[in-house]
Structure formats: structure tokens, C-alpha cells
Chain A
Amino acid sequence: MSQGVETRDIERQEVSSDSSDDALVLGGHRFSSRLFVGTGKYSSNEEMNECLEVSGCEVVTVAIRRANLEDPEKSLVRHLDRSKYTLLPNTAGCYTAEDACRYARLGRELLETDLIKLEVLGDESTLLPDPVATLEATATLVSEGFTVLTYTSDDPILARHLAEAGAASVMPAGSPIGSGQGILNPNNIRIILETIDTPVIVDAGVGTASDVAIAMELGVEGVLLNSGIALARDPVRMARAMKNALLAGREAYLAGRIERKLYANASSPTEGMVDGTGSA
């Protein structure tokens, strides 16, 4: 491809033109939807379930916390249909590799899954990942047989290290968690896509539907979001918008956008103009 930074070479992945066959494969898992949706911050479990349904997502993330044995309703166990969704436990709230690995093991026992969304945070105000601990925890969990989906910054060098450590997906933040700032540095995402063969999923920062479309048009394999839907004025409507944006962005990426040009290029014929009109 000669279009520089505009498109990723799609030849390396055999993509069917039939979008119904456009599955996402992560480790031994195959997913029909490329939109991953979080379960936090909804005003009710009913609203959450309506949003999940409308978004068309297959993978939903959950957090692991101490069980309240007096009030089991605080758990999502009775509120998520596990025959419908693949639950992806996260290690949110962990600030060391050791804690994150502990939560991952609890998640595996709890949900009987090898999938883990690994996040090892470095700082409470930015919620940026701790790159050193994130890499260490990725390697540990890979060695323990987990399918590790690693939340990271958009640093291409770290992305390469995570891919080499065996992450099943490298998941750069578009912008800080919950910030709604969208994809702040699309060029870094492009470089990551050029650098690694591991599936890339944009995780965090999505504020509205166009952010999802932009991410997918860059050529990432999927988008993970939560606040963008849950905190919208009309979450269910936003869930639908996110679904449509993801499909639009994916289709546009597969279709291959036109080159950006500095000057105009008429769509209508320049020949056959009636005498006395048009340019000299």
C-alpha cells in the first residue's frame, strides 16, 4: 500500500468481503462482535442489560470485588445472562503486578475462564498503566495459561514488548479511562498496528460514536468501552450508536478509504460541457 499512514495493509489478514463472517479471534476464543462493553456505572441493572442487548456485544467486562454475603444483590451473578455473554474479568484497581495476578487467578476461578483483561495502574489521577508492572504481569499470566488482554498506553515500544510477552490482545487507551477524549494520538495506534501482529483493541477514552468509528477505521480489531455508553444522557440510544459506529468503521476500514489530496477532483465529467460554460 502506498497510502502512507492512511491505511493499514489489510492483505495480511484474509478478510472476507462478507461482513457476517468477520469474526474476531483472541487466543482460542472466537467472537462475532468486535465491541466489548463494560458493566460499570449504569443507573440500574435493567438499563445495563438493555444497553448490552442493543450494543450487540458478546464480551462484557466485570470487576472482581469482595462478596457482600449480607447483600448478594450487589453481585452481578443474577443479573447477567451467561448463556448470552462471555464475561471478561478485569484487574481494575490493581497497582502492582502481584495484585493484578491475584485478581486474575480469582477471576479464573470465579468465572471459569482463561480470559483476563489485565490492567495494572500506575497512578490514581491519570489511571495510566504502570508499564513495567504491566509487562511483568502479562508475562506471568501468559506462563500460567491465561489469554491475556492487556490494557496499555499507546506507546508502540511497550506494545511490542507486550506482544512479545504473549499477550492475546494489546489494548491501548485512546485517552485516559473515563475521560471521553477519544483517540488522542491516532498516529501511535497506526504505528502499533504496523509493528505487531497481535490483535489491537482500543480500550478506554471513547466519548462518542465517532471515536469508535475512527478507531475501527485505523484498523484495530475492536473497541472496549463503558462510560461512553453508561454515562450518556440516553445510554440505550448511545449503545445503538456505538454499535452502528463500530460496524461503519470496520466496513470503511475493510473497504479502504480514498487517498487524501490537497486539491479537488471533480466527480462529474469535465467533457461534454455546453459551449460557453466551464473553464477556458
Chain B
Amino acid sequence: MLEALELPREGVAVEVNRGIVPKRTHQEVLLSDGDEVEVVTFVGGG
């Protein structure tokens, strides 16, 4: 489960295999071996 990653409640967005996983569905998403998960946030930039 994506939940097992213990992501912060706000300030992150998640991609699994290059597809966005909407925040409201985070708890429902099941991960399989080999899935590529990206977790991003926002940082200083111009």
C-alpha cells in the first residue's frame, strides 16, 4: 500500500509508474514489486 510510505499529509504529490495518483486515492493504491514511485514537493525556485 502507498499508505505504508507514511507520506506527509500535505505538500506532496505522488506518481506511480509516471502516472499521477490523486491525493484522495492515496489510501486505496496498492503497490506491486517493481512499481516506480516518485514523491515530489515544492522548493525554492524562480
Contacts of A76 in B (CB 8 A): 41-44
Contacts of B38 in A (CB 8 A): 66, 106
Q: List CB contacts (< 8 Å) of A226-240 with chain B.
A: 226-227
Once the chains bind, are A64 and B42 in contact (CB under 8 Å)?
yes
Contacts of B45 in A (CB 8 A): 38-40, 61-63, 90, 92, 226
Please measure, in the bound complex, the distance between the C-alpha atom of A178 and the C-alpha atom of B12, giving whole angstroms: 28
A110 within 8 A of B: yes
A69 within 8 A of B: yes
Residue of A nearest to B15 (CB): A106
Contacts of A69 in B (CB 8 A): 5-8, 39
Once the chains bind, are A65 and B43 in contact (CB under 8 Å)?
yes
Contacts of B40 in A (CB 8 A): 64-67, 106, 110
B2 within 8 A of A: no
Give the size of the chain A interface in residues (CB under 8 angstroms).
Answer: 38
Please measure, in the bound complex, the distance between the C-alpha atom of A40 and the C-alpha atom of B39, giving whole angstroms: 20
Give the size of the chain B interface in residues (CB under 8 angstroms).
Answer: 23
The residue in B12, B18, B23, B40 that gathers the most chain A C-beta atoms within 10 A of its C-beta is: B40
Once the chains bind, are A77 and B13 in contact (CB under 8 Å)?
no
B10 within 8 A of A: yes
Please measure, in the bound complex, the distance between the C-alpha atom of A24 and the C-alpha atom of B38, giving whole angstroms: 35
Please measure, in the bound complex, the distance between the C-alpha atom of A157 and the C-alpha atom of B45, giving whole angstroms: 28
B34 within 8 A of A: no
The answer to whether residues A109 and B22 also contact, given A66-B39, A66-B40 and a CB cut-off of 8 A, is yes
- Closest approach, in angstroms, between the C-beta of B2 and any C-beta of chain A? 13
- Closest approach, in angstroms, between the C-beta of A132 and any C-beta of chain B? 23
B31 within 8 A of A: no
A177 within 8 A of B: yes
The residue in B8, B41, B44 that gathers the most chain A C-beta atoms within 10 A of its C-beta is: B44
Contacts of A40 in B (CB 8 A): 44-46
A184 within 8 A of B: no
Once the chains bind, are A77 and B11 in contact (CB under 8 Å)?
yes
Instruction: List 15 other contacts, CB 8 Å, given A62-B44, A64-B42, A110-B12.
Output: A38-B44, A39-B46, A62-B45, A66-B40, A67-B11, A67-B41, A69-B5, A72-B11, A77-B10, A77-B42, A90-B46, A92-B46, A106-B13, A204-B46, A226-B46
Residues of A with Cβ closer than 8 Å to B?
38-42, 48, 61-67, 69, 72, 74-78, 87, 89-90, 92, 102, 105-107, 109-111, 177-178, 204, 224-227
Question: What are 13 residue pairs bridging A and B, where the CB atoms are less than 8 Å apart in the complex?
Answer: A38-B46, A64-B40, A64-B41, A65-B40, A67-B40, A72-B11, A76-B43, A107-B13, A109-B13, A110-B11, A110-B12, A178-B46, A204-B46
